[in-house]
Amino acid sequence: MKINSLAFRLVAGAALWTVAGVLAGGLILSAIFRDYVERSFDSKLHVVADSLVASSSVGSDGRLRISRSPDDPRFEQPFSGWYWQVMSDGRPLQRSRSLWDQIFSADLTVESSDDPLQFKRPERELRVISREVTLPGSEEKYQYIVSGDRAEVEHEVARFNTTLAWSLGALAAGLVIAVLIQVQYGLQPLRRIRAALADVSSGRSDRLTGEYPAEVAPLVSEINLLLDNNAAVVERARTHVGNLAHSLKTPMSVLANASEDPKAASPLVETVRRQVGIMRRQVDHYLVRARTAAAGGVLGQRTEVKPVIEDLARTLMRIHAERNIQVSAKLKPGLVFHGERHDLEEMLGNLMDNACKWAAANVRVSAAAVKGRIRIIVDDDGPGLSAEQRETAFRRGKRLDEGVPGSGLGLSIVKDVVELYGGRISLADSELGGLRVVLEVPAAEGSAAA
């Protein structure tokens, strides 16, 4: 999951609020439980104090007697933290054995106190209540003091907090996992749209198909409408390019035929013949560029390389049958060009036809996958080209041998088309002794090259 993704933002936001809510809830529950334990602890101290008062009496001699001590054995254990003491006028009258040689101070006059009272020996934090009572048969006021070890409260609270932390931690983890599952499920339609667009881009489909939730259905409709409009625009552009080609080529053919008439030989006719040739080359060049540029913007164009090369090889062997030129193909299966078949035929047709024109007997075509591209190599056993000739071979209208038929646009057109597709073309020496042309074009998704 990427940090800048929508899923990460949703999960991170939900996790943040979940952790904050669980933490706040945990603090509130811990505070409520502490208050409950302290109230329960105080209630127990009050019960002890009530039992002491109930068992107290004043004898005929005016002395205080306690007939029964609290049943809790901790009041008998020295320095246990559980103590009781009865005082009058600041003088201790009765006390528990647990106090041993210590006494409570005489300033405990409040009904109850949460403040700890420290003894010299041993040091304990106590929770103390104090009560003043007047007993029957006496006008003297007696102060009953009862204390308990506060560590018991802290122990209960700590044990509860530990259980609470584990429970709320598991709850928070479960909620975050639930949010993650919910987000993954909720964003599934967007992933389906992405996969469908990838199918359109790779040529496996021409539209987004399937049922989508109501929230994203309008988006799918708009994308399909955009794809339809794109295809319509490209089709209109192709139609206009074709119409322009026909409208220009017809008058240029008339001018060319008129200039070839031997009866009309003159300097003007020769000028017309040259200019018509230039116009024809320029029109062919820019029409090819316009058609390829329009096709290059169309999504989903896929062309299998093997059928195109095999069809061209059979056609060229028939064309050059008088010279007995043999065209062989060594191709790996599964190679798919990311572009139109016509453009691949335009590029390979020019390259293979040039090879056949210059070859002595053999032309060899091979294709393989190279780093996400398709590398197509055309070799011939002709005379080849020198380094100086290779530098000028891609210039428009440049013909290296006037004795061989052609317009000088073949390699130039191939270079323009391959560059529009983001590929490249280069020349080298062939193993067959002639020229090697290396053509690299983009591979479609799902191709062996990709």
- What percent of the chain has pLDDT above 90? 18
Residue 289 burial by CB count (10 A; 0-12/13-18/19+): exposed, middle or buried? middle
**pLDDT exceeds 80 at position 259:** no
Quick one: pLDDT at residue 116?
41
Cα–Cα distances (Å) from 155 to 31, 164, 189, 307, in that order, read: 14, 14, 53, 83
Q: What is d(CA 154, CA 31) in angstroms, rounded to the nearest whole number? A: 12
Which token pair is 378? 């055309």
Quick one: pLDDT at residue 171?
93
Quick one: pLDDT at residue 410?
63
Cα–Cα distances (Å) from 393 to 281, 384, 402, 408, in that order, read: 16, 12, 14, 9
**pLDDT exceeds 80 at position 335:** yes
Backbone angles phi, psi at 90, to 5 degrees: 80, 0
Q: 123, 126, 122, 121: which is closest to 84 by C-alpha? A: 126
Percent of the chain that is helix, strand, coil (3-state, to 5): 50, 20, 30
The pLDDT tens digits for 345-355 are 888 998 999 89
Quick one: pLDDT at residue 169?
92
Residue 444 burial by CB count (10 A; 0-12/13-18/19+): exposed, middle or buried? buried
The pLDDT tens digits for 175-192 are 989 988 888 888 888 888
Backbone angles phi, psi at 409, to 5 degrees: -105, -10
241 touches 342 (CB < 8 A): no
- Per-residue pLDDT averaged across 53-64, rounded? 85
What residue segments make up the domains of the chain, in order of their start? 1-186, 217-293, 301-442
Q: 278, 392, 374: which is closest to 335 by C-alpha? A: 374
Quick one: pLDDT at residue 61?
79
The pLDDT tens digits for 20-38 are 999 999 999 999 999 999 9
The pLDDT tens digits for 94-147 are 888 888 877 776 554 333 344 444 443 455 688 888 888 888 878 888 989 888
Q: Strand 126-134 to strand 141-149: parallel, antiparallel, or no bridges (unpaired)?
A: antiparallel
Which of these ranges, 174-183, 196-205, 307-316, has the smallest mean pLDDT? 196-205
Quick one: pLDDT at residue 321?
87
Which of these ranges, 32-36, 162-166, 252-256, has the smallest mean pLDDT? 252-256
Dmax (CA) for the chain in angstroms is 166
- Domain 301-442 falls in which CATH fold? Heat Shock Protein 90 (3.30.565)
Which H or E run includes 255? helix 217-259
Per-range mean pLDDT, top range of 139-148, 213-222, 273-282, 286-295: 139-148
Quick one: pLDDT at residue 22?
92
Residue 34 makes CB contacts below 8 A (sequence gap 6+) with: 153, 157
Q: Which amino acid makes up residue 136?
A: P
Quick one: pLDDT at residue 236?
75
* The dihedral formed by the CA atoms of 51, 53, 57 and 63, expressed in degrees to the nearest 10: 120
Quick one: pLDDT at residue 35?
93
**pLDDT exceeds 80 at position 320:** yes
Instruction: Give all strands of the β-sheet with 126-134 in edge-to-edge order.
Output: 91-95, 83-88, 141-149, 126-134, 112-113
> Residue 199: how many CB atoms within 10 A of its CB?
19
Which of these ranges, 117-121, 160-164, 212-216, has the smallest mean pLDDT? 117-121
Quick one: pLDDT at residue 290?
60
Q: Which amino acid makes up residue 98?
A: S
**pLDDT exceeds 70 at position 393:** yes
**pLDDT exceeds 50 at position 400:** no
Which of these ranges, 70-84, 162-176, 263-277, 322-336, has the smallest mean pLDDT? 263-277
Query: What DSSP string describes 127-144?
Result: EEEEEEEE-TT---EEEE
Per-range mean pLDDT, top range of 73-82, 248-257, 390-399: 73-82
Query: What DSSP string describes 85-108?
Result: EEEETTEEEEE-GGGTT----TT-
The pLDDT tens digits for 368-379 are 888 888 999 999
Q: Which amino acid makes up residue 239?
A: T
Quick one: pLDDT at residue 285?
61
Q: What is d(CA 125, CA 117) in angstroms, rounded to the nearest whole number? A: 6
- Per-residue pLDDT averaged across 8-14, rounded? 86
More confident site: 236 or 383: 383
Cα–Cα distances (Å) from 299 to 251, 326, 339, in that order, read: 36, 37, 9
Quick one: pLDDT at residue 9?
84
37 touches 157 (CB < 8 A): yes
Note the Cα 43 to chain centre separation in Å: 59
More confident site: 265 or 13: 13
Taking each continuous run of H as one helix and of E as one strand, the counts in the chain are 9, 14
Which of these ranges, 79-88, 97-106, 232-241, has the smallest mean pLDDT? 232-241
Q: How many residues does the chain have?
A: 450
Token pair 């964003």: residue: 187
Q: Over the chain, what is the mean pLDDT?
A: 80
Which H or E run includes 23? helix 6-54
Quick one: pLDDT at residue 420?
80
**pLDDT exceeds 60 at position 401:** no
- Per-residue pLDDT averaged across 154-182, rounded? 92
More confident site: 50 or 396: 50
- Per-residue pLDDT averaged across 293-315, rounded? 75
> Residue 364: how many CB atoms within 10 A of its CB?
20
